[in-house]
Amino acid sequence: MFFPSPNPSTLRLLLMSTPVGPLGSGLGGGVELTLKNIAQALSQRGHQIQIVAPQGSILNDLSDLPLIELIEIDGTLQPTAQNHDRQTPALIPEHAVLGEMWNYARHVQTEFDMLINFAYDWLPFYLSSWFERPVAHLVSMGSLTDVMDGAIAKTLDAFPGTIGVHSRVQAETFAFGDRCRCLGNGFDLSQYQFQSNPDPIVAWVGRIAPEKGLEDAVAAVKQLDTPLHIFGAISDAAYWQDIQDRYPDAPIHYRGFLSTDELQAELGRCRGMIMTPKWVEAFGNVAIEAIACGVPVVAYGRGGPAEIVEHGVTGWLVEPDSVSGLAEAIARLDEIDRHACRHHAEQHYSLEAMGERVEAWLNDILTQHQLRIR
């Protein structure tokens, strides 16, 4: 239960998580870390935060922040939209946790100044006009389906300025991209320790699923005979099995899905990190996590990573889908200054920088809302 904000500039915010998995499971992919980072950044600026997420969610280090509360909701997890095609309709399973989460929000909304939606699903966008409190939407992926594009576009028409994205290249995948608010992303860089002397290994980090292109990284390290450590939740077991069957003697080591603290310690030991997106990655949180530890990034010049990696400064951008290009770039990792990587993260992707951008976005939405309800 939150009390009316002690001072008007601080907000009471209801953060609605992704319904695809509990926070801390890794099934929600980048949006889990994004939600936690935004919650931390806003609470550090005095705002009161309640996070609504599927049963089994954990906040780890955030739970000791006084202004953050977690509400767990029971229900059926939402199927991922990742493998939908343009015509896939909006899906709602029986006893959907998504519906239960937003039913809870309906009941408590007057205790808050506004809601922030992190789900890439039809329902929260459709419900925006049914709520008396304004809803800000942080869209976590590029354009995937017609039904989602339509829901987001309708929300933008009714509530201009309420759609946030992570990168320009992500925004440009939508017809309405120029009307989206670009927020970048931000991380608690104190959680990432700079390491200057790496071991001769490279890393690949992400949900293990076809759109992440892990097979190309495996093919590249096989060519170089360089050990590849793989971190992330196995989102598509058949895809992972197929890679192991196709490359039985590749020098790969699956390390599981680690907490941020464990991941950054392992990542920092690596000569570099490889990113092989097969789709327009909206951002690429792991690229920031790597450079924050001083680890240069080799990435396909596609999607968010192409906007994050500074070619020749924080890593190398490679022609998309070129395995030989990956191998050449991996061989040149030692030409990158690891200190420059850490410095770049501090300049552009700190929690403070993100907190400022998000707070300004929310205040602009509130101003619009107050003008509308007069």
Query: Where on the chain is the footprint of ligand HBI (CB under 6 A)?
Result: 18, 20, 28-31, 78, 80-82, 119-121, 140-141
The smaller minimum CB distance to ligand HBI, of residues 155 and 195, is found at 155
CB of 249 to ligand HBI, least distance (A): 31
What are φ and ψ of residue 187, in 5° steps?
A: -135, 150
CB of 144 to ligand HBI, least distance (A): 9
What are the tokens at 81? 């939209």
The smaller minimum CB distance to ligand HBI, of residues 87 and 190, is found at 87
The smaller minimum CB distance to ligand HBI, of residues 212 and 271, is found at 212
* Burial degree of 126 (CB within 10 A; 0-12, 13-18, 19+): middle
CB of 118 to ligand HBI, least distance (A): 7
Give CA–CA dist 267/295, Å, rounded.
Answer: 7
What are the tokens at 321? 């889908």
For ligand HBI, the nearest residue by Cβ is: 29
The smaller minimum CB distance to ligand HBI, of residues 100 and 113, is found at 100
The smaller minimum CB distance to ligand HBI, of residues 11 and 151, is found at 151
CB of 260 to ligand HBI, least distance (A): 16
What are φ and ψ of residue 135, in 5° steps?
A: -115, 120
CB of 188 to ligand HBI, least distance (A): 19
The smaller minimum CB distance to ligand HBI, of residues 121 and 289, is found at 121
* Burial degree of 209 (CB within 10 A; 0-12, 13-18, 19+): buried
CB of 56 to ligand HBI, least distance (A): 16
Strand order in the sheet with 202-205: 252-256, 228-231, 202-205, 272-275, 297-300, 315-318
Give CA–CA dist 139/176, Å, rounded.
Answer: 13
